Chain A
Amino acid sequence: GALVYQYPRRTICKSGTSMRMECQAVGFQATSVAWYRQSPQKTFELIALSTVNSAIKYEQNFTQEKFPISHPNLSFSSMTVLNAYLEDRGLYLCGASLRAEQFFGPGTRLTVL
């Protein structure tokens, strides 16, 4: 089956610092990777959509300067939350697509102190 790993599962950072999270598709080559943030109220926000060999497209309210993404190959993607503040807390989910079906990892839960 399609598995998506995310690392770390949980992280705590001080306000104003940065943290990097990783996503890996196992057992398949993802055609695209989407990064979402799920709020404590469980609503989803799409941060950016990434396909190999194409420009990463960021959604409104999210920028490359704040959430730089690296997607060097079909199995791996990483995203950094720069200069994190309280409003950046949440569960960051990576969705890797295979034949237009999107599979999610367990998420990286970010707590900002």
Chain B
Amino acid sequence: QQQVRQSPQSLTVWEGETAILNCSYEDSTFNYFPWYQQFPGEGPALLISISSVSDKKEDGRFTIFFNKREKKLSLHITDSQPGDSATYFCAASVRTGGADRLTFGKGTQLIIQP
């Protein structure tokens, strides 16, 4: 059973538009949700994260909206730039203060058309 699901698998938006990437999860004990950005040939880079006590987290053009009741979250990228073209992974973990075991979704490939 897939614990973390992402949609769509692929998304194309025009430069300047807002890209919306969706994520949902099964395990209600998950309390920490990082998003990673990965370019071809590179490792995933931590982009932004949110804990389950918040419903929104903003960092520049990137915003996470979190709905704990529905076990859903979304990443909004405003004013999309061609340089934002990458694969975005939603991950989840149970933050215990010890070792972190991340469960990843399968990713959304984002293409920004100039």
Contacts and interface: CB of A to CB of B under 8 A. Distances in A.
Interface of A: 4, 6, 31-32, 34, 41-44, 46, 49-51, 54, 57, 91, 93, 95, 97, 100-107
Interface residues of B, number: 23
B59 interface: no
A101 B46 contact: yes
A105 B42 CA distance: 8
Given A32-B98, A34-B100, A34-B102, A42 B107 contact: yes
A74 to B, nearest CB: 13
Interface in B28-66: 32, 34, 36, 38, 42-46, 49
A51 to B, nearest CB: 5
Interface of B: 32, 34, 36, 38, 42-46, 49, 87, 89, 95, 97-104, 106-107
